[in-house]
Amino acid sequence: MILILQIALSVSAWKKGWRAWAMLPVGITAAVGFAVGIASGTQDVLSEYMPFVLLFDIASVIILAIMCSHAPEGHVISDNSVGHAVAEEKRYGQQ
């Protein structure tokens, strides 16, 4: 369930203007999960690492939510319908 939430938040952050930075939290979380899986191997020590993995999952969701809440500095979100209205307003205002 957390993976679905992370993917949805990454898509939203990507559309906000974060582009490839939106994939970084998901990539780090996946790498940590992979490393924990390798470290635990076939031993029954996965329960020891579970709080660590959950911490990264929750941190990733929080970071992505913050990224979704606002665009990066200096980035203007362009919406085609709004952009056309602004362009027409400028053109008609100069006549």
Q: Which two tokens stand for residue 75?
A: 């980035």
Q: Kindly give the parts of the chain with pLDDT less than 70.
A: 42, 44-46, 75-95
Residue boundaries of the structural domains of the chain: 2-93
Per-residue model confidence (pLDDT) at position 10? 95
- What is the value of pTM for the model shown? 0.71
Per-residue model confidence (pLDDT) at position 49? 79
Per-residue model confidence (pLDDT) at position 73? 82
Q: Which amino acid is at 22?
A: A
Q: Is 60 exposed, middle or buried (0-12, 13-18, 19+ CB in 10 A)?
A: buried
- DSSP, res 1: -
